[in-house]
Amino acid sequence: MTSRFADGLAVGSDLVEAAESAVGRALSRLSGQADLVCFFICGDDPDDVARAGEAAMKLAPEAHVIGCSATGVIGDGQGVELTPSVSAWAATLDGARLTTFALETLSAEDRFVVVGLPERKGDDHVAILLADPYTFPTDAFVERSADVLGDLPLIGGLANGLQGRGSVRLFADGEIYSEGAIGVLISGQVKISTVVSQGCRPIGPSMVVTAAEENLLLELAGQPALARLEDIVSDLDEDDRELVASGLQIGVAMDEYAERHERGDFLIRGVIGIDPEREAVAIGDIVEIGRTVRFQVRDAATADEDLYDLLDAHREEIGKVDGALLFSCNGRGSAMFGTADHDPVALRDTLGPIGVAGFFAAGEVGPVGGHNHVHGFTASVLVFSHTAGGP
């Protein structure tokens, strides 16, 4: 069976052979010539990863090709973690215009400047971004992307390698990079959408930030933030208290004018500590006074329900889905669900037997509430849906 989107997966210590197998399988399952190929490599030796990436890029000389190293890959309906492996994804995108790019950071006085961005056009749909978290300021770039890119959605993930810093490899149209970021801008006649599942459940009430300093929440709804948090925790059952102890989160409401703020209405950020002397709560972001926040917890059941609900709703809204790219946090998979296969299986269950590939990222990029953000513990999905006149 062939289609416009296909994936492949190969596991084995010979990464060049695995890359050729995975990419070859994806290409062989396409109904036409590949326009875009994405591949992801997990390997012990960065030099082996580079050689595998070079081999992968040679297999589709007529296509735009991007890829990166990772600590785990996703393909063929499953995930593979911390094991030498390669996943690949190939797409025939009739009517689309593709522009690959490589970004680097230059220092300019007391700030940085990112160079290499493609020029925006009116029919741009989305940009896939794969970045080295050790050398590229992904958080700052993504959070400020609207200043340069307008409302263009960014989706993708932070690459990594099994050896950590220095082992990341990025690939774009025949070139190999050991720092920075790469990606592809997708424009033209193609139907694309995004899904970002943050997998959290609210606890306690929504509260307005009434005093804050940098990333410290000092007051919530006119009371010391720590006292508010302690009151909320005291009302929880034992199971939810354990979730709070294992990793409390906070959600920042994306729509201040909504009558109610429930699951999915927030940008999730971590609670990273408390300051007992100031009765403050430290979080992994800076929230302005006047914003609405709500504490959150995350567990496997909540994350499972959130992903399935979002994908089901998305499928109902957009209709037939043809393919997808999946960027799943390396804190999900077996660490959260007991299996590396959870997220790709969820996509197959809800969207159908489509071509899906991706990798386990060290941070995920995706839009929430119309703005691009870097996330943790999320599944960010780029969905390609059926277009009129397509097969």
Q: How far does CA 134 lie from the centroid of its chain?
A: 17
Q: 245 vs 108, 241, 249, CA distance in Å? A: 42, 6, 10
Position 273 scores a pLDDT of 94
pLDDT of the residue at 269: 95
Digit-coded pLDDT (tens) for 56-80: 999 999 999 999 999 999 999 999 9
Q: Quick: pLDDT tens for 115-128.
A: 999 999 999 999 99
pLDDT reported for residue 389: 41
Collect contacts of 284-287 with beta carbons under 8 A, ≥24 apart: 284/215, 285/215, 285/252, 286/212, 286/214, 286/215, 287/209, 287/212, 287/215, 287/217, 287/252
> What's the average model confidence in pLDDT over 214-242?
96
Q: Which stretches of the chain are DSSP H helices?
A: 15-28, 46-58, 138-143, 145-149, 225-234, 238-247, 300-318, 333-337, 342-351
- pLDDT for position 2: 56
Tell whether the model's pLDDT for residue 388 goes beyond 50.
no
pLDDT tens for 368-378 read 988 999 999 99
Average pLDDT of the residues in 269-277: 95
Q: What is the amino acid identity at position 206?
A: S
Among the listed residues 101, 68, 85, the one whose alpha carbon sits nearest the alpha carbon of residue 168:
68
pLDDT digits (tens, 9 = 90+) for 183-208: 999 999 999 999 999 999 999 999 99
Handedness of CA 365, 99, 326, 57 (dihedral sign): negative
Per-residue burial over 270-293, b = 16 or more CB atoms within 10 Å of its CB, e = otherwise: bbeebeeeebbbbbeeebeeeebb
Label residue 3 by pLDDT band (50, 70, 90): confident
Q: Does the pLDDT of residue 37 top 70, yes or no?
A: yes
Strands 154-158 and 124-131: parallel
Return d(Cα 146, Cα 150) in angstroms, integer: 4
- C-alpha 5/C-alpha 222 separation (Å) is 53
Q: Which token pair is 167?
A: 């082992």
Q: Which amino acid is at 382?
A: L
Given pLDDT bands bounded at 50, 70 and 90, which one contains residue 112?
A: confident
The DSSP string of 86-107 is EEEEEE--TTEEEEEEEEEEEE
| Nearest C-alpha neighbor of 6 from the set 353, 381, 391 | 353
Average pLDDT over residues 127-154: 95
Check residue 391 and give its pLDDT. Answer: 42
CA distance 30 to 36: 11
The pLDDT tens digits of the residues spanning 86-102 come to 999 999 999 899 999 99
| Among the listed residues 99, 143, 142, the one whose alpha carbon sits nearest the alpha carbon of residue 121 | 99
Q: What is the pLDDT of residue 110?
A: 77
pTM of structure: 0.93
**Please, which pLDDT band fits residue 142 given cuts at 50, 70 and 90?**
very high
For residues 168 and 264, which has the higher predicted lDDT (pLDDT)?
168
Structure tokens at 317: 């809204």
For 363, other C-beta atoms within 10 Å of its C-beta total 24
